[in-house]
Every structure is written in C-alpha cells, then in structure tokens.
C-alpha cells in the first residue's frame, strides 16, 4: 500500500500504536470544541505544535503539509472576524489549528496499514448489530487511503507537465487529465479486486468455512 502522508521515524509518536493516537485525537477534538476559553484553546494549539515538532519531520515535508492549512485557516479567520467578532475568530482559529496540527502529527507518524487494521477492528464491532461482511468496510477505507496520495501524485505530475508546456493557471488543462487518470486508476483497481473475488460474499465465505471446518 502506498504510504501516502506517512513518514518513517523513530520518535515517540512513531512508536505509539494507532489506537491510542486516534483515541487521543478524538478526545482532543471533542474537548476543544466544548471549551470556550481562548487561553486554553491557544495553549492547546501551542502543545499541538510542540507535538508535531517532536515528530522530527523534515522541514520540506512540514512546509508542504502546512502551507495549504495556513491559507485555509487565514481565509477562515478573516471571514469569521468580519461576520462575527475578533474573539470568536481567534477562539475558532485556535481550536482548528490545534486539531489540525494533532491530526497531521497522527497521519505523519502512523503507517496506513496500522490505520486500516484499526478501522477493520472497529468495523468488526458492527457484527454485533447485524452487519455482515465487514471486510467491505475495511476495503473501502484501504481504497481511500490508497487513492488520496495517488490523486495528489497525478496532480503534481500534470502540473509539472503544464509548466513545461507553458500552460500556467489553466484549470481545464489540469482537471480534465486529472479526472481521466483518476478514473483509469479506479477502473484498474476495480478490475483487480473483481479478479480476486474480494471481498467474498457472505454465503461464499460461510461455505468456505464449512468446507474446512
């Protein structure tokens, strides 16, 4: 599986299992949006930044991941300040910054295979409420994890080709080949999955278990 956002390392965040990291991210996200204190939210953002720095990521990697977030948060802050007030804008900015930095730290230090295994185990709990063949849920998550970096790679390749041809700031020349490449990749993956008959239908899986039991 493509590692996507994951960057290998030996830091403490890298060594932690996926379960505790995602649980901490979930609790932090809920807790931050229940707190209305600007100092607390700002302190949480600082702590999140320190946690991200403790992952010891290359500066080039951090810059590539943080630049889109800075633009997004800047626009959101300006819009909130205009439509509401400065205090609300700062509070919301601190909350979002803390959560996004923590989420970035988790994704950069957690291999996709661990994420997939975690969500497959969580999906397995759905069997207790009557959901069968939960492998399909795991497969769906695996495909999402696979295609997000794949689409990003296609985007970078096409953009470089545009620049080489002098087609700057041409969204049509970017989006059309990106869509074609993405659909072609999806079709190839679907064909591979069908060829392997995965995931098996519940009835087929039951027959296989009975055969070897």
pLDDT in tens, 161-202: 877 777 666 677 778 888 888 888 778 777 776 776 655 555
Can you say how many angstroms the Cα of residue 189 is from the centroid of all Cα atoms in its chain? 20
**pLDDT single digits (tens) 119-158:** 878 877 777 777 776 667 767 766 776 677 677 777 778 8
Query: Distance (Å, rounded) from C-alpha 24 to C-alpha 104?
Result: 13
| pLDDT attached to residue 87 | 93
> What interhelical angle do 18-34 and 86-109 show, nearest 10?
180
- Which residues touch 25 (CB under 8 Å, ≥6 apart)? 99, 102, 103, 106
Query: Distance (Å, rounded) from C-alpha 21 to C-alpha 103?
Result: 9
| pLDDT attached to residue 200 | 55
102 in Cβ contact with 48 (< 8 Å): yes
- Grade residue 85 by pLDDT with cuts at 50, 70 and 90: very high
Can you say how many angstroms the Cα of residue 12 is from the centroid of all Cα atoms in its chain? 20
Query: Distance (Å, rounded) from C-alpha 42 to C-alpha 188?
Result: 46
Q: What is the mean pLDDT of residues 61-84?
A: 88
Q: Which residue has the higher pLDDT, 205 or 110?
A: 110
| pLDDT attached to residue 142 | 67
Name the pTM for this structure: 0.69
Query: Distance (Å, rounded) from C-alpha 119 to C-alpha 6?
Result: 17
Side-chain half-sphere CA neighbours of 100 within 13 A: 15
- Average predicted confidence (pLDDT) for the chain: 81
| pLDDT attached to residue 49 | 95
Query: Distance (Å, rounded) from C-alpha 207 to C-alpha 136?
Result: 18
């Amino acid at each position: 599986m493509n590692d996507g956002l994951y960057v290998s390392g030996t830091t403490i965040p890298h060594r932690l299992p996926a379960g505790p990291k995602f649980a901490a991210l979930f609790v932090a996200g809920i807790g931050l949006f229940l707190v209305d204190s600007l100092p607390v939210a700002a302190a949480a953002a600082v702590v999140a930044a320190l946690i991200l720095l403790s992952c010891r990521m290359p500066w080039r990697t951090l810059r590539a991941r943080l630049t889109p977030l800075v633009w997004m948060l800047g626009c959101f802050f300006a819009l909130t300040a205009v439509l509401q007030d400065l205090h609300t804008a700062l509070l919301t900015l601190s909350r979002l910054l803390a959560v996004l930095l923590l989420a970035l730290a988790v994704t950069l230090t957690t291999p996709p295979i661990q994420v997939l295994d975690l969500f497959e185990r969580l999906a397995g709990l759905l069997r207790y409420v009557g959901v069968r063949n939960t492998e399909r849920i795991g497969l769906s998550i695996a495909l999402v994890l696979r295609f997000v970096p794949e689409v990003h790679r296609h985007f970078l390749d096409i953009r470089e080709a545009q620049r080489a041809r002098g087609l700057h700031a041409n969204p049509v020349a970017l989006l059309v080949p990106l869509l074609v490449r993405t659909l072609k990749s999806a079709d190839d993956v679907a064909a591979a999955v069908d060829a392997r008959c995965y995931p098996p239908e519940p009835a087929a899986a039951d027959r296989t278990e009975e055969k070897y039991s």
